[in-house]
Structures are given as C-alpha cells and as structure tokens.
Amino acid sequence: MATTPLLTSDISEFMEGILYHFPKAITEENRPVDFYHLLHLCRMYLKPGHKVEDKQHHGHAGKSHYFDYISDFGQKVFCVGQEQNMLYELSKLNSPEHVYRWRRAVDYHEAGIEFKKRDFHEEDPHSLLDIRFRKGVMEIPCLPIDDKSSLLFRNLVALEQTCPQVSDDITAYIVLMSEFVSTAADVALLAQKGIIVHQMESDEEVSTLFTKLFEYVAFDFRGEHYLKSLYCAMEAHYQSRLNRWNAWLWHNHFSNPWLGFAAITSAFIVLCSILQTVLAFLSYTA
C-alpha cells in the first residue's frame, strides 16, 4: 500500500481504535508502517508478540500447600517420576496414530489444568494470541465477543487462507477456540475466569460462533503452527494418569480444607489400625 508516512500513521491509529478492546503487543512507538491491506494491518496488531512458552513446570499452581506435600509424598512412595511420565506421554504424540485435536476446556479442567486470564502489563505487552501454559496453568488473554466478532475473525482467516505471504497464526487461534469452547459449558467456564467477555444472548451462541468460523477452513494440525508446542504440553498433561489422579483428589476431596483434613485423618486412622494389627501379629508369633 503506497501511502505517505502521515497517512500511514493515521491509518494505524484508526485501526488501534477499532481493536481497542483487544490486547496488543504493538505499542504506539512501533506502529506498523509496512502493510498492503487493512486486514493485513489488523492481523499485525493481533499476531503473537512472543513465542509460546512450552516449558511445563509440573506443579499445581493455585492449590494449597498441604495438597502439594501429599502429592509429592505419593510420588516418592510409589516411585513415580512425573517428569518421566510427561516425557513418555510426549513421545506418544509423535506416533502416526495420534489424532491432533484440542480438547474441550471442561475436559482439560477436569484433568487438573487451571485457567487464568492473562493480565496485561504495559512494560511487557502481549497480544490476543499470546497464550502460555506453565505450572499446570493456562493463561489466556481476555477475549471480548460481540455481534461483529464473527465478521472480523472470518475475514482474517480468509486472508491467511488465500495469502501465502502470511502465516496461519489467526487460523491456529480460531481452531483452538472452536474446539476449546465447543459447548456452552466450556464458554461458561472461561467466562467465569474472566477470559471470555461476551455480549451475546447466551453462552451457546458464543460456542456456535466459533464452530461456524472453523467450517471449510483448511488447517494442518501436524504442521509447525505457533500453538503446536502448547498443544503437546497440554496433551501430555492431560494424558498423565498422575495428573488426572491429583485432579480427581483435588476436585472431590481437597477443594475444601475441612474435607481434606477429614480425608487425611481417616487415612491416618486406617494406617494406625494396620500398624496395630501388624504389631499384634508380630508380638503373638514372637
């Protein structure tokens, strides 16, 4: 697009006004000046500003310390190395039989993955597409949804599908969201966390919006898209039996401290009873 520097700056400022509600990694000092289409400029504002962080620290952020102690003790007693377990799960993702598909947000949550809205910081800005996963927590930038969102994302996906000069970052993000929020329950979960803020009549409408956005879209799940490392880390976490066991304990017994205390007390009483029986048997046979 051949424009004067002043006009280019005005167009960029106008685009910032349109995308006001979306987080952007581009600051006022480094506004884009080399673009050939308004959609291309819009995409430049929304593209990921950082590489996806795929270093998974296998902790349980957001949970109480006493639960961490119990989990660590269980790993030591049963000689279960969580790191080796995760590496094993990652190795299975490379098999030709593995089907690359995102799971529902509710499914990830039940497997122990926590969701958090990624807070925006002026000193380290991020864009809408800058999702990260670490310490068992998936941080997603806030996504505002209204009746114009479908048109915006559909045009951006069309640009990536027809223009070989640009990468498929927006498309990868839409693929994630279309499978991530495939039901109203998924939308409700992310809305509860402040990740999705919508003005639609129902959560079901938001789910339908993303499902329709993914229709007739060509996307290589096995390709090197920017969310692939994130997918592998989350899938390995989901497939880990240890993580699922920890999540089951947390959701069913340790989410309430009193219930957790009661469970620990019961286990301690059972252990004491077993020890008493063993000692009585040994004293009888001595």
Average pLDDT over residues 220-246: 84
169 touches 226 (CB < 8 A): yes
CB atoms inside a 10 Å sphere around CB 180: 24
Average pLDDT over residues 6-35: 67
120 touches 141 (CB < 8 A): yes
Q: What is the pLDDT of residues 186-222, one digit of tens each?
A: 999 999 999 999 989 999 999 999 999 998 898 988 8
State the pLDDT confidence band at 43, using cuts at 50, 70 and 90: confident
The most distant pair of C-alpha atoms in the chain lies apart, rounded to whole Å, by 98
- What pTM value is reported for the model? 0.71
State the pLDDT confidence band at 7, using cuts at 50, 70 and 90: low
